[in-house]
Structure formats: C-alpha cells, structure tokens
Structure 1
Amino acid sequence: MSEYQYYEFQAIDKPLSQKDQQVLRDISSRAQITSTSFVNEYNYGDFKGNPLKLVEKYFDAFLYVSNWGTHQLFLKIPRKLIDLDLASKYCIGDSWTIYEKGDYLIFDFTSETEDYDWEEGEGYLSPLISLRSDLIQGDYRCLYLAWLFCVQMDEIEDDEEEPPVPANLGNLNASLESFANFMRLDKDLIQVAAEKSIAEQKSIQNDQKLKTWIDGLPKSEKDTIIFRLINDGDPHIGNELLQRFRKTLSIKDSKSEEKKSRTVMELLQKAEAYTKKKDQQIAEQKAKEKARKEKEAAIAREKYLNGLAGRENEIWEKVSALILTRTPKNYDEAIKLLIDLKDLANKNNATSLFKSKLMTIQEEHRRKPSFIRRLDSANL
C-alpha cells in the first residue's frame, strides 16, 4: 500500500508575491500554487520543505494529514494580538506547542492515533481557518480544547488543575466542532468540561464602555490609527484596539465567575461517569424500542393468524402443491405456510394434529433433500 500525505498552506493577511511563488515552486514542481495557497499531495516520496519555516516566512495557516494517523494544524498570529501569558496556561501537554517567531506566534496542534481509517486531507483546513480570527478576537476556546486533548492523551498529571475555562464552551461554533473532530477529541469529555463554562453574550454595557474609551483616546493617537488604516491597510487595527480596551475592564465587568478549578483526574472521572450514564440511557431506549416493535409485531401476527382461522385444510393443500413443484422458491413459501399452521395449532390447542400431518408430509417427500433441509432448519 502506498503512503498518503497531504500538505496545505494558506496565506491570509498578505498574498504571496511572484517571487514567493517561485521560491515555493523550487521546493515542489508538482504543487498547486496560487497567490494565497500552496497545496501538495504525496502517495510516494516526501515533502522537501520545512512546514514551520514556511509558515514563519510566508503563510498564516498550515494543515497536514497522513494515512498513518497524523493530523497537524499550524496557526500564525501577530504576537501583539495574543495574551501570551493566558495562552501559555493552556499549553501544558505534548500535543500542542507555541513557537515564538519574532513578531509572531505559531500555534502547533498535533493529533496522532493508531486507530485510524484511510482519509484524505482536502477540505479539512477551510473550516479551521476561522479559529485564527477567533483567537485574535480573544476567543481561546480552541486552546482549552487543545489542553483537554492533552488530558485525553494522558499527557498531564492527574493532580494538575485545569486552566481558566472560557465562556461558551458548551456552544461550539462550526470551526470549533471541526477542530474537536480534527483533534479526535472525546465529545463526552467536552460535555463535562463545559459544565463550568458560563454562557456569555455580547454586553450592551460593554459596548457603551467601548464608546467611552474611544472618546477618551488622544486626538493625535486617533489620527495615527486613521493613517495606519488608510495608508498601511493593517487588517488587525480593530482587534489590536479591542485587546487594549479589554485590558481596561475590571474583573467584575468581564462577567467572569470565580469557580473552583477541577483537576485532570476529576475531569476524566466525570467524563467516564457521563459516558457510562449516557450509554445506559441509550441501552434503555433501545430496549424500549425493541419491546415496542415486538409488541406491534405480536399484535400484527395475532391479527394475521385470526384471518387464517378455518382455512387450515386449504393451507395444507397449498403446502402439498408448492412442494410438488420442486423449486427452491416454492419450498420456502411452503415452509412459511407450515410455520403459520404450527402457530394456528398452538393457538387452537391442536398441536397433535399438526404433528401428525407434518410427519405425513415428511414421509411423502423424504426423497426431496432440499425441502427436508429447509424443514429441519425451521425447527417445526
């Protein structure tokens, strides 16, 4: 079997120049290269470039998928737009890393498993790219999920306490759902972790405070911001200002709730109990559904047999006629009718008569092995 590897790089903030594209072409003559992307698949051989260095110099996102179970995602973000102290609290295990590269941070999320199916990487990166915007806007839920994956992989000590639980962990957007699936994160573990996550909505009060904060900025600084916006085309000015504003909010205004942190062991035990309870509920529901269907089938069977009552002789004659055709299809039909006759006999306390007639059938057709095998299999 050939090996499969998929590499996809995306430039978001700044497109690739013609010179950049030529450098990339020298790395791979077969890659699909545009002003914003660099994509390559390998069924034999390997990629000659260094993904981390390429992201550092040219790209903002990178995805890697292999047929031996490796998933990897890089996101590059300007350092000034990330609270590195807070982000570092989530970066404890071995499955994700923060690389500091000059004015940028590169987040490296890796998931490896021995239990995998062959899969291709095309289409994986698109729904994950908006995680970068979420991080820039201060939504660190993907970092908590990455920490939770390290918990799942036994990379963190049992007595280690969890980092701050971000808001809205119980209401993941499409990108976060894709990220959880990409990392192969246990959904029950997410469910348990989300129990201590507040449901936070946009605050009208904070909007008013933002307006007040903007009014308080010096005129010279506002002029500088407008100049940067028009002249430099900086796509992150708004997010940079929002981050500055958030730092002015007090703990009370941020709507954070003081909650006792859980340990890794507590999370794992609660997730195990949650899974067990959920499986039990599913089993009970399946049992109820099975009982309902069996009851409906029994009622239908009773109605069917009532419709056959008084026609026993007619059915015996039809059985004999079907057997005489010597065709497998009619043998099967004859067996079905014999089962009906047996159930009618049980219903009417006439089992002795049924057995007598069945023995006659067996004797008359003992030289038809195909029919006799069917008869034996039916346990009549």
Structure 2
Amino acid sequence: MSVYQYYEFQAIDRPLTRDELDGVRALSSRARISATHFVNEYHYGNFRGDERKLMERLYDAHLYFANWGSRRLMLRLPTALLPSRSAEPYCAEDALSCWTRKGHLLLEFSYDDEDGGEWDFETSSTLASFTALRAELAAGDLRPLYLAWLSALTRWELEEDVDEDEYASAFEPPVPAGLGRLTGAQRALADFLHVDPHLLTAAARASDAAPPSEVDEESLADWIRTLPQREKDTLLLNAALGKAPQPGPTLLARHRAASHATKKPCTSTSRRSAAELLDAAYRVRSEHTRQQGRARAQARRAEQRGRDGHLDRLAANTGQAWQDADHLIGQKRPGPYDTAVTLLKDLREVHDRAGTPEEFQRRLDDLGERHRGKPSFMQRLTDAGLTAG
C-alpha cells in the first residue's frame, strides 16, 4: 500500500516569532511554512516533530490524516474561554481527549479505521474546514464535543465483545442545543469522525434549537463601557504587540456570561443511556430504510408511467416511427444508428403489447434487407437482440 500523510498547523491568536519559525523550519526542509501556517505532505518517511508539543507551545489548530485511515484534529483555546471542566464530560477513549498547558485547553479529536482500508486522501479536507470549530467552542457551543462522544459510541456499537449491560450503564454527557442543525464546520467534523447519521438524528431529538448567534451590539457596547479603563488599555496593548490572544472571543464570552445570554448546555433533564440512544438510532435507521423503499417504489411507478405514455404515443403512429427509424439509419453515422436501435426496441415492445410480433419481425426483416450493406448498423442490431433476416 502506498504511504501518504498530511500535516497542517495554524497559529490563530498570534503569529510565530522569528526564533519560533527557525525552530519549526528545522523540523522539515520541504514544508510550506509561514508565521501562521505549516503544511507538509509525506509520501515516505515521517514528520520529525512532536505534534502535541508544537500545539502546546505554538499553534492553535492542527490537522493530520493518513491514507490508511488514521486522522486527528487538535484545537487549543485559552482556559478562560473553555475550561477543562466543561470539556471533560465529553471525553471518550479513541475519540476525544483533553488536557491543559500554560493557561490553554487542548482538545484532540481522533479516528482510526480499524479495518485498515485506504482512505481517499485526495478528497479530504484541509484545516480551513475545521478552524471555525475553535471560535464556536470559544463562544460556548459544545456541539463539536458531543459529536466526538457520538463518534465513540458509533465505534463502540461495532465492537463484538461488549455486554449489553455496559450500554445500559453508560450515559451521555450534557446535550448541547442545536444538534438538529449543525454548522458547516460541525458537519465536516461529523464526517471526519464517522458519526452515524442515524445516531445523530436520534440524539438531536433531546436537543433544543440553537440560540441566535447574532451579538446584541448595543448591549455589548454598554458592557464594555463598564470595564475598568486600565483593563481595556492592557487588552489593546497586548493585542497590538501580539503578546496575548486577540481579545474579541474572550470579551464576547465574558459578556455572554455577564448577561446570561446563553443557556445551559444540557437541554434535557434526564440523560439517556448508550443503550437508549442506540435503540433510538435503530428505529431512525429502520424508518429511513422504509422511506427509501417507498421513494424507490414511487420513482419506479413514475418511470413506468412515463414509459407507458411514450409507448402509447408510438403506438398511435407506428408507420411514422418506422419511417423515422429508416431515415436515421440512412444518415450512416454512429449517433443516428444508436437512436434508431433504441427506437426499434421501443417498436418491438409496442407490437408485443398489441399482439402483433409477426408484423414487427416482418418490418424489421425488410429494414435489415434495405440496410444490409451497413455492417456497423447490423452489428448494433445483433448486439441489441434484434435479429433481421
């Protein structure tokens, strides 16, 4: 199997310093590196750096995937925006882990294809597909974390040595609002982590509608005016010098907390067990299968009605149809030949419905006799099962 690995890092809150850039460049001579970005692809060999340490020290987002199915997304946020106690309930083995370093919370979303099948990396996403998740988490939207827990449950269901009592004794974490209507980045994450769509639908039934994302500018302005002048001066100075993360997300989070603009993340008074969620997903899947069956049957009926109408129109003037076939063949070109063969197959069905297959064969024999000098057309007749004398 060919080897392919993709590494991408992004610095969002502040660019790397010159010394930091020199340290990163020492890790790879082929990577595309800037003060805010690192991208490299490996068709052989491995990355020499430690992704976790780079995230702890320098970067705010990281994407990795390999064509054998392994994939990883890491995000770093200030703990002032997302404390570890908010993320820990969603952590699950092999799906989401979190830890803190120097005032930051680090989240690692991961998925490994245990079947070992190759992943079509050419259609894979870049880090830009996921960076919006960081801003969503900073704003208190915990849907990305719940999606990771669902990914773990999706994989857990496939394990063969799990006792059913384990499913009954494991309960979901707090259910965030808005699961029924994910953002674009959240949909990309659900695909990235292979979340069962039927399980997501079942889980969303206990989720309230997402609160409005628009910021009340007048309320925010009033709140900012109440901040101490020294604090505002410090925020602006640090932002201008790049010594601290951009203050916008922190200020918005503090404003929401102060004004109680957000709801508690759990929208359900009772937490469902893994067994209840899996049973609900089975019902959703079964109903989806039934709906698909009904839709296919309806499509087949519509197709048959269209076919019957077409044959009825041919039957109303079979003489003209035979003349049309003769004219098409006379053009001596591949396209008209194909159209003529299709028309002849339709005429065979028209005559079969009318109980006159002998007339069809007589007319086909006459047509074949007139055009027997056209071997390409005659071969098409044979291939279509239309045998002329």
TM-score higher than 0.5: yes
Q: Secondary structure at the match of 2:23?
A: helix
With over 3 angstroms needed to count, the CA separation of the structure-2 counterparts of 1:149 and 1:379, relative to structure 1, is: farther
Normalised TM-score (structure 2): 0.77
| Letter matched to residue 225 of structure 1 | E
Q: Report sequence identity in percent.
A: 29
Distance 1:342 1:77 in 2: 69
Deviation string 1:123-181 (CA, Å, 9 cap, x unpaired) is 52012112111111211110011111111110894121111111112121111112112
Unaligned runs of 5+ in 1: 363-368
Q: State the partner residue of 2:22.
A: 22
Distance 2:123 2:365 in 1: 65
With over 3 angstroms needed to count, the CA separation of the structure-2 counterparts of 1:379 and 1:251, relative to structure 1, is: same
Distance 2:276 2:26 in 1: 52
Deviation at 1:272, TM superposition (A): 2.1
Pick the aligned partner of 2:276 from 260, 266, 269: 266
Q: State the partner residue of 2:371.
A: none
Deviation at 1:118, TM superposition (A): 2.4
Q: Aligned residue pairs: how many?
A: 366
Deviation at 1:41, TM superposition (A): 0.9
Pick the aligned partner of 1:377 from 357, 369, 385: 385
Q: State the partner residue of 2:153.
A: 151
| Letter matched to residue 147 of structure 1 | W
With over 3 angstroms needed to count, the CA separation of the structure-2 counterparts of 1:259 and 1:338, relative to structure 1, is: closer
Deviation at 1:184, TM superposition (A): 2.2
With over 3 angstroms needed to count, the CA separation of the structure-2 counterparts of 1:374 and 1:339, relative to structure 1, is: farther
Distance 1:43 1:128 in 2: 24
Distance 1:194 1:74 in 2: 25
Q: State the partner residue of 1:162.
A: 172
Deviation at 1:2, TM superposition (A): 3.0
| Alignment RMSD | 4.3
Q: State the partner residue of 1:173.
A: 183
Distance 1:131 1:61 in 2: 10
Q: Secondary structure at the match of 1:158?
A: helix
Q: State the partner residue of 2:310.
A: 300
CA contact (8 A) 2:175 2:265 kept: no
CA contact (8 A) 1:131 1:142 kept: yes
Please tell me whether residue 45 in structure 1 is matched to residue 52 in structure 2: no
Q: Secondary structure at the match of 2:71?
A: strand
Distance 1:5 1:163 in 2: 33
Q: Secondary structure at the match of 1:304?
A: helix
With over 3 angstroms needed to count, the CA separation of the structure-2 counterparts of 1:184 and 1:124, relative to structure 1, is: farther
Q: State the partner residue of 1:8.
A: 8
Distance 1:38 1:252 in 2: 35
Q: State the partner residue of 1:283.
A: 293
Distance 2:180 2:190 in 1: 13
Deviation at 1:249, TM superposition (A): 7.0
Unaligned runs of 5+ in 2: 369-374
With over 3 angstroms needed to count, the CA separation of the structure-2 counterparts of 1:294 and 1:47, relative to structure 1, is: same
Distance 1:162 1:300 in 2: 56
Please tell me whether residue 344 in structure 1 is matched to residue 351 in structure 2: yes
Q: State the partner residue of 2:121.
A: 119
Distance 2:122 2:386 in 1: 48
With over 3 angstroms needed to count, the CA separation of the structure-2 counterparts of 1:376 and 1:287, relative to structure 1, is: closer
Q: Which moved more, 1:250-259 or 1:267-276?
A: 250-259
With over 3 angstroms needed to count, the CA separation of the structure-2 counterparts of 1:20 and 1:264, relative to structure 1, is: same
Q: Which moved more, 1:115-124 or 1:90-99?
A: 115-124
Q: State the partner residue of 1:74.
A: 74
Deviation string 1:188-235 (CA, Å, 9 cap, x unpaired) is 2222211111114349999998788777x6xxx613321222222244
Q: State the partner residue of 1:130.
A: 132
Distance 1:88 1:194 in 2: 21
Q: Which has the larger radius of gyration?
A: 1
With over 3 angstroms needed to count, the CA separation of the structure-2 counterparts of 1:203 and 1:212, relative to structure 1, is: farther
Q: State the partner residue of 1:365.
A: none
CA contact (8 A) 2:175 2:207 kept: yes
Distance 1:331 1:65 in 2: 47
| Letter matched to residue 236 of structure 2 | I
Pick the aligned partner of 2:238 from 232, 239, 252: 232
| Letter matched to residue 134 of structure 2 | R
CA contact (8 A) 2:171 2:274 kept: yes
Q: Secondary structure at the match of 1:225?
A: helix
Distance 2:213 2:357 in 1: 78
Deviation string 1:244-280 (CA, Å, 9 cap, x unpaired) is 5655678997596443211111112211221221122
